[in-house]
Structure 1
Amino acid sequence: MSLLDYSDQYLNKKLSDVTLVIDGTELTAHRSILCERSDYFKAMFSDRFAEGKADRIVLKEASLKYFEVVLKHIYFCNRKNYTVASILPDDFDEVFKVYACAKFYTLDELMQGIISYLEFGGCPTIQMLNNAMAYSIDYLVLEAARKIKYDAHSIVELKIFENLTAQAVEYLLKLKLNTRQSTIFEALVSWMRLNTDKSDLFPKFLKLVDLYILSQEDLEILFKPTKLIDRKICQELINEQAERAKTAIKIVNENVINDPDDLCVLKGIIHFRSLCLDCRSIQFDKDQIIIDLKHQFYLNCLKFEIKQNKMSYTVHASLDSRDWQIIINHSKYDCFGPQVLYFNERPVRFIRINANPDYVFSLKVNIEALYSTEPFEVDPDWALSIPNRNIMPSDIFTTSPIVKICGEKIDQEIRHLIVSTAGPALLLANQYHYISFRLSQPYIIGSMKLQIRHLNSYFVLVSTNLKDWTRVFTEENVEGWRTVTFEKQPVLMIKIVGTKALSPYFRIFGFECPALEVS
């Protein structure tokens, strides 16, 4: 496409070779410019159509008001400092009509400019959704729905549904709005009372709300002050949903939350700072995050990542968001980073995570809920996972999100200064007098392996709170791969203290926890 500025030719009769007639108004134009900017006119002025040689063409499909904007863009688009916004009407409804006109005459550049203007130019979300659906602008439909979805807790107070078209209401009901079903139901009933002429749609729309988990008190707004639907029809919908909900779905080794954008957060504040997943987070709302999976699934594993340095928490599961059962209790442990939680298989629809109320916590949005065919065994007394494979990073000498290592890393070893052999100067200069491994979450541990060289003596301590330590193992004058065994117990941190070596330093060249083969 040419970069020439044709603004001086706009409605200029000089050199004009065609007249466009719309609603009885004549607009002078230039074939070459129209063909250059629009494939529609390029085809019209070809030899295949009668208009190709006509001097006067009536455009019956166009509205003068909106075609004038399109024509102005054709002539002004390469003018210095030109913006699409400068030619658009003030009314957003009319801007959408300009878009429809631009689409008809195949002006892709103008269409894209209008979409950007509507997205960033302050178009109200409801107005955007209604019009975007009417004119099939998929991008704006998704953008408007995203805004409503993540602020869905306010749909009743802001009367979002009351101003929506029936088409837009149905679209939103099919989404995973981030609010309780009772709130969605209340918003829908408000819309129904304002649109009684569309009563034939009421049963169809009510099917999209999970009536079976609503209380009788919630349901009564359907019938008072006036009845919107027959009670018998409503009860049939409830019975149908309740029967269907009895069957939980089992999807093996796959996250039932298909995409972070599909995550339905009933309680919690979602922050979107960018498209990067690592920059998105869910902040706890009054110490809770509640997630609705929208269906019942058989689950035995939950994965999420804590953004803060430490957080203690509990996890609860429910089928109806009223009766909750605790499935994970980490309330006594300071956890961090990625959490991989196993529990006994059970049907789950709602997941609630409770955190320490004294602090503000958040999780990354890449939450996973699944049925694993290779779960860790769960200790019945402590309700903690018993790992059956190494939970240490494959390379303990690199930074890992699942374990924090304290010790001096040099080449392929981790070392600490042995206090008994160090002089005062060394003790002051070196902060490491032990090697420690802090796990991101508690496990039931009863063994580990470490690789040392030459003759060394050491002892091992474990802790669950980083304050109280229990010595569980001691060895003297040993070398090679050493297997450490002790009574299985909850472990959050492991501390290895060397007491003797051939040099002032105690060194580890490999570490495994738990020991995969206990000698």
Structure 2
Amino acid sequence: MAEEEKEVLTSQIVKAHDDFSWLYLNQRYSDITIIVHGRKFYAHKAILAARCDFFKFVFYDHVQAIKESPEAIGTDISVWAFQELLRFIYTGAIITTPNVTLILELLEISVNCSFTDLENFLTNKLKSALNLENAYDILNVANSRDLDELRDACHTFMDENAPEIIASPLFNNLPQKSAIGVLQRDTFCAPEIAIFDCVAKWCKVNKDVDNLVIQCVRLSLLTVDEIVSTVRPSELVEDETLWAAIAEIIGIKPKTSFYRIKKSAVLLTSKRNLNTYAYHPIDKSSSITVRLGAPSQVNYIKMRLLDEDLRFYSYYIEVSLDQRNWKRIINYSYPCRSWQDLYFKEEMIQYIRIVGTYNSASQDFHLVSFEAYYKSDIPKLVGDIICPDKNFAILNKKALVIEGNNPNVLLKQHFEIPGFTYHTIDVDQIVVHFAQPYMISRIQLLLWEGGLFRYFIETSVDKTNWRIAVDRTKANCSSWQLLQFDERPVVFIKIVGTYSTVTNDKVKEFRCALLKCFGNNDDN
């Protein structure tokens, strides 16, 4: 009987999908017309608002204007991109196109509209489409929009094709930030003289502000002959710097540049699931162990925990040079999820052991991806916890609003994106779950313009024990709130409104438009 009921439910879901798809570009029952470069698109406000936070805000905050004029005009988007945006809203799919430029346009629109489902869909599509011609354009968009997952995919692809990447004239199209991000990686492995030749060509057509791109060339990895015959005649590097590099090459001074190592690693222990993730049962003896391609200086690990749902994990990480003597570098008993950015004091290692100690959804620990690097600049650390100098309360850092209405809006990266996250006074609250613990002492909170509010903020590392951070329950507050409190590890932030002058259908709402969180970096 249960199977029959499940079959009926599935068929109804399919039918509902087909019914909504039938409404795509259908003038019948439409209640708004959107004009893009002269072409009319017929749509339905309820469907647009249900699928996309941007439209929800537009229809919620501008109801009277829309009633008076059921037509809206768009000029900053192409006809194709808007048509595919609507197609995804109504059908959950887009028309396949080999034109990466069009896909990138649609991706930028999805970011502007805080349309996370479409953003993730297009990100995966672009990752699978990476090649030697389009990787540069994709990387530029990933950097300009702070799309970490897409940027990492571009970097990995470029690592795997480093000689071809620097030999292509398309490299000159990279802006300074993108060029630095590629060249400074220890895993971008190509002959150093070839990297210098690439940089020299780039400098002829781009302005290298503060010589940051030329500094990515590891001069002490060149030969003396290469410095004298190629680098010095270019006049891109000062003689004093060249003499210092030569001193390192001939052994007068110790080397300050690490060798580039082609990324390779072997999974020694753990089970695998169709190459989608490695895993081990959570017990006292199992683990996932990775062997690096060669002994390496490492101070940064980036890994992704299985994040198909809201599950979270706890774990610790140990490193070794010989598999006999192990040193624990990370010990996270906190509820962690999705991407993990882990920094620690540099160690010469070849083996890394990841041990899961908890999974909120099952008895296995799942690891989707894993990378280890040496980074010349690392953030301030308190123990094994990052004290960030940049805002990490953003979707791209896998922060998640787990309680509250219009959840994605609070964690947007661009102030110009409209909307707000809210909760009903005396009924619920807003709770944010960060992907990993951070040491924080400062919060910037933008309250919804046009209202007066009172509120308090609490923090927690386990969502059970809460600690007060800010109490603004006795004074009316508005606009930006610049809040400071004693530094502490934080995984969860709870924002609770206690008073509001904003009413919706006779219900008092506490509204906030933007949340930013930082650590204390005054001594950096």
TM-score range, shorter chain: 0.3 to 0.5
Q: Which has the higher contact order (CA 8 A, sep 6+)?
A: 2
